[in-house]
Amino acid sequence: MLLPIVQYGDPILRQQCRPVETIDAELRELVDNMLETMVDANGVGLAAPQIGVDLQLAVIDVSHDPECVSYLKVNGKDAELEEIMPLVFINPTLEFGQEKDTDFEGCLSIQGIRSEVRRPMDVKATLPQLDGSTLIIETDGLLSRALQHEIDHLNGILFVDRLSAVGKVSVKNRLKRLIGAK
């Protein structure tokens, strides 16, 4: 079932989300609906607060571009994207590499705005799974950026918060219009 995507200005997008404590049929159905909604919206990721749910839960699928990472390790072993996509995770933690990279980002909750965001190039993500296992993913490229973007959502941070001073000025009026359009 397609879910409505919450838009910029909704207070849930600024909340620190609650950890997932119970994995049940209702949560699994929510995940299925989030995946369907993400695909329908042509997104590469979707976090629970983006559909109005206060939980540390997100989905990512970057399998449309298998060349979007230069390396991928899962639990210490080399892996291929298709082995882990779509990626569903709860209660994540991130460690960042030292090098930074700048690339364009957009967001399903901030329609019509894309801007350059500087983020760490490499991440090590600890991602608890619905089956009780944990994936430790080390990667770069689009998957690294998507993990950082979606995990930011779980902490009430939006990509526009990470823009340079010039970038923030350039989107300020467009963001005001988005709030005014509600």
At residue 42, the pLDDT reads 95
- Cα distance between residue 96 and residue 86, in whole Å: 22
Query: Which of 3.40.630.10, 3.40.50.300, 3.30.1490.20, 3.90.45.10 is the CATH number of 11-180?
Result: 3.90.45.10
Query: Active site includes 95?
Result: no
At residue 131, the pLDDT reads 96
**pLDDT at position 182 over 80:** no
**Mean pLDDT across the chain, nearest whole number?**
95
- Using a 10 angstrom Cβ sphere, with 0-12 exposed, 13-18 middle and 19 or more buried, the burial of residue 93 is exposed
| Backbone φ/ψ region at 156: left (φ over 0), alpha (ψ -120 to 50), beta | left
Catalytic position from the list 36, 82, 99, 150: 150
Q: Radius of gyration over alpha carbons of the chain, in Å?
A: 16
Kindly report, residue by residue over 29-74, the tens digit of the pLDDT.
999 999 999 999 999 999 999 999 999 999 999 998 888 999 999 9
Q: Using alpha carbons only, give the angle 21, 25, 28 rounded to the nearest 5 degrees.
A: 75
At residue 181, the pLDDT reads 60
Does the pTM surpass 0.85? The reply is: yes
Tell me if 153 is assigned to a ligand binding site: yes
Tell me if 107 is assigned to a ligand binding site: yes
Range 146-173 average pLDDT: 95
Contact 163, 115 (CB under 8 A): yes
Nearest Cα residue to 154 out of 14, 7, 35:
14
In single-letter form, the type of residue at position 109 comes to: S
**E-state strands within the chain:** 45-47, 57-60, 72-74, 77-78, 87-90, 93-96, 100-107, 110-120, 123-128, 134-139
**pLDDT at position 146 over 90:** yes
Tell me if 149 is assigned to a ligand binding site: yes
